Protein backbone atom coordinates (compact mmCIF):
# COMPACT_ATOMS: atom_id res chain seq x y z
CA UNK A 1 0.00 0.00 0.00
CA UNK A 2 1.37 3.43 -0.89
CA UNK A 3 2.00 5.79 1.99
CA UNK A 4 0.99 9.02 0.27
CA UNK A 5 -2.36 9.16 -1.51
CA UNK A 6 -1.80 12.70 -2.78
CA UNK A 7 -0.04 15.94 -1.99
CA UNK A 8 -1.05 19.51 -2.83
CA UNK A 9 0.70 22.84 -2.71
CA UNK A 10 0.28 26.38 -3.93
CA UNK A 11 2.22 27.91 -6.80
CA UNK A 12 2.70 31.56 -7.75
CA UNK A 13 1.94 31.19 -11.46
CA UNK A 14 -0.22 28.22 -12.48
CA UNK A 15 0.69 28.34 -16.18
CA UNK A 16 4.42 28.48 -15.44
CA UNK A 17 4.00 25.59 -12.99
CA UNK A 18 1.99 23.61 -15.56
CA UNK A 19 4.75 23.99 -18.16
CA UNK A 20 7.46 23.04 -15.67
CA UNK A 21 5.76 19.95 -14.22
CA UNK A 22 4.50 18.67 -17.57
CA UNK A 23 8.04 18.68 -18.92
CA UNK A 24 9.92 17.66 -15.76
CA UNK A 25 7.63 14.76 -14.86
CA UNK A 26 7.10 13.35 -18.38
CA UNK A 27 10.20 11.09 -18.16
CA UNK A 28 8.66 9.54 -15.02
CA UNK A 29 5.39 8.73 -16.78
CA UNK A 30 3.54 11.46 -14.90
CA UNK A 31 1.17 13.64 -16.93
CA UNK A 32 -1.47 16.31 -16.39
CA UNK A 33 -4.70 14.37 -15.84
CA UNK A 34 -7.16 16.92 -14.44
CA UNK A 35 -7.67 20.67 -14.76
CA UNK A 36 -10.27 22.27 -12.52
CA UNK A 37 -11.09 25.84 -13.46
CA UNK A 38 -11.64 28.83 -11.18
CA UNK A 39 -15.43 28.51 -11.40
CA UNK A 40 -15.26 25.04 -9.86
CA UNK A 41 -12.90 25.65 -6.93
CA UNK A 42 -13.57 27.01 -3.47
CA UNK A 43 -10.94 29.75 -3.66
CA UNK A 44 -11.51 30.89 -7.26
CA UNK A 45 -8.17 29.54 -8.44
CA UNK A 46 -7.15 26.82 -10.85
CA UNK A 47 -6.19 23.29 -9.71
CA UNK A 48 -4.04 20.92 -11.74
CA UNK A 49 -3.85 17.19 -10.99
CA UNK A 50 -0.78 15.28 -12.20
CA UNK A 51 -0.31 11.56 -11.94
CA UNK A 52 0.28 8.16 -13.48
CA UNK A 53 -2.08 5.27 -14.09
CA UNK A 54 -5.02 7.66 -14.37
CA UNK A 55 -4.80 8.80 -10.72
CA UNK A 56 -3.78 12.38 -9.84
CA UNK A 57 -1.49 12.25 -6.82
CA UNK A 58 0.16 15.67 -7.20
CA UNK A 59 -2.11 18.72 -7.09
CA UNK A 60 -1.02 22.30 -7.73
CA UNK A 61 -3.20 25.35 -7.19
CA UNK A 62 -3.00 29.10 -7.31
CA UNK A 63 -4.74 31.84 -5.29
CA UNK A 64 -2.75 31.02 -2.15
CA UNK A 65 0.74 32.00 -1.04
CA UNK A 66 3.37 29.45 -2.14
CA UNK A 67 4.94 27.75 0.85
CA UNK A 68 2.10 28.85 3.13
CA UNK A 69 -0.56 26.33 2.13
CA UNK A 70 0.39 22.67 2.18
CA UNK A 71 -1.74 19.55 2.09
CA UNK A 72 -0.72 15.90 2.32
CA UNK A 73 -3.09 12.94 2.30
CA UNK A 74 -2.10 9.55 3.65
CA UNK A 75 -3.79 6.45 2.30
CA UNK A 76 -5.74 4.46 4.89
CA UNK A 77 -6.68 0.78 4.60
CA UNK A 78 -10.19 1.26 6.04
CA UNK A 79 -12.70 3.76 7.36
CA UNK A 80 -11.75 2.64 10.86
CA UNK A 81 -8.15 3.70 10.20
CA UNK A 82 -9.37 7.13 9.06
CA UNK A 83 -11.35 7.53 12.29
CA UNK A 84 -8.40 6.37 14.40
CA UNK A 85 -6.06 8.78 12.59
CA UNK A 86 -8.46 11.64 13.34
CA UNK A 87 -8.79 10.77 17.04
CA UNK A 88 -5.05 10.29 17.55
CA UNK A 89 -4.15 13.44 15.62
CA UNK A 90 -6.49 15.53 17.77
CA UNK A 91 -5.14 13.90 20.93
CA UNK A 92 -1.61 14.74 19.77
CA UNK A 93 -2.42 18.45 19.48
CA UNK A 94 -3.87 18.71 15.99
CA UNK A 95 -6.88 20.90 15.23
CA UNK A 96 -10.03 19.68 13.53
CA UNK A 97 -10.22 20.62 9.85
CA UNK A 98 -12.98 18.19 8.84
CA UNK A 99 -14.20 15.14 10.80
CA UNK A 100 -14.32 11.64 9.30
CA UNK A 101 -16.95 11.26 6.62
CA UNK A 102 -17.78 10.87 2.95
CA UNK A 103 -16.70 13.75 0.72
CA UNK A 104 -19.20 13.50 -2.15
CA UNK A 105 -17.67 16.48 -3.94
CA UNK A 106 -14.72 14.16 -4.74
CA UNK A 107 -16.68 10.93 -5.24
CA UNK A 108 -19.14 8.71 -3.39
CA UNK A 109 -16.47 6.45 -1.81
CA UNK A 110 -14.07 9.21 -0.69
CA UNK A 111 -14.02 8.76 3.11
CA UNK A 112 -11.60 11.16 4.77
CA UNK A 113 -10.70 13.19 7.83
CA UNK A 114 -8.66 16.40 7.95
CA UNK A 115 -6.54 17.79 10.78
CA UNK A 116 -4.25 20.82 10.93
CA UNK A 117 -0.92 19.85 12.45
CA UNK A 118 0.79 22.16 15.01
CA UNK A 119 2.30 24.19 12.14
CA UNK A 120 -0.96 24.51 10.22
CA UNK A 121 -0.31 21.86 7.56
CA UNK A 122 -3.56 20.28 6.38
CA UNK A 123 -3.06 16.55 6.99
CA UNK A 124 -5.61 14.06 5.70
CA UNK A 125 -6.24 10.33 5.97
CA UNK A 126 -8.34 8.95 3.12
CA UNK A 127 -9.93 5.61 2.30
CA UNK A 128 -11.39 5.21 -1.17
CA UNK A 129 -12.65 1.63 -0.91
CA UNK A 130 -16.14 0.28 -0.34
Residue 23's contacts (CB-CB under 8 Å, 6 or more residues apart) are: none
State the SS3 of 52-91.
Answer: ECCEEEEEEECCCCCCCCEEEEEECCCHHHHHHHHHHHHH
Q: How far is CA 89 from CA 76, 114, 118, 127, in A?
A: 14, 9, 10, 16
Those residues of the chain that have pLDDT short of 70 are 1-2, 69, 119
pLDDT computed for residue 119 by the predictor? 65
Q: What is the distance between the terminal CA atoms of the chain, rounded to a whole angstrom?
A: 16
Q: What is the pLDDT of residues 2-14, one digit of tens each?
A: 688 899 888 888 9
The per-residue pLDDT for 107 is: 93
The confidence score (pLDDT) of residue 69 equals: 67
Amino acid sequence: MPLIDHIEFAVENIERARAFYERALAPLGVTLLVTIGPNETRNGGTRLGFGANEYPSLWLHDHAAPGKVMHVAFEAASRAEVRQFYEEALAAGGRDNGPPGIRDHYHSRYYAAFVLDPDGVNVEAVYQGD
